[in-house]
Amino acid sequence: MGLEYVEVDGKVVSVLPGTMFRVELSNGHQVLANISGRLRKNFIKLTNGDMVRMEMSPQDVEKARIIYRLKNATVSRGTPVRSFGPRRSAGRS
């Protein structure tokens, strides 16, 4: 009697306000997706070009819930380089 969901993979096309995303499926169909509470709790960030796994209800194929961000090295996240302060020369104490 429980709800059944279909898991599909897609690519984030655009980031919308309110943690909503426009995601394109492999067949070219675009859906409106939001992130699941687990991703929200663990501060998982999503940007354009990220590959994601979603679950969709068979009754409403226009909406989805993002449940996982797939590992993809092609997207540059622009992460900052850590700085540990100025370097000291070996001769100084």
In whole angstroms, give the CA distance from residue 67 to residue 38.
8
Residue 52: count other Cβ atoms within 10 Å of its Cβ. Answer: 23
Q: Report the pLDDT value the prediction gives residue 9, as an integer from 0 to 100.
A: 95
At 30, the pLDDT band (50, 70, 90 cuts) reads: very high
pLDDT at 75: 54
Domain 6-69 in this protein, CATH class: mainly beta
Q: What pLDDT score does 1 carry?
A: 55
Here the tokens at position 14 are 């655009």
pLDDT band at 3 (very low <50, low <70, confident <90, very high): confident
- The residue among 81, 31, 75, 18 whose CA lies nearest residue 49 is 75
What count of other Cβ atoms lies within 10 Å of the Cβ of residue 42? 7
Confidence (pTM): 0.72
Closest CA to 63 of 71, 54, 72: 54
Average pLDDT, the chain: 85
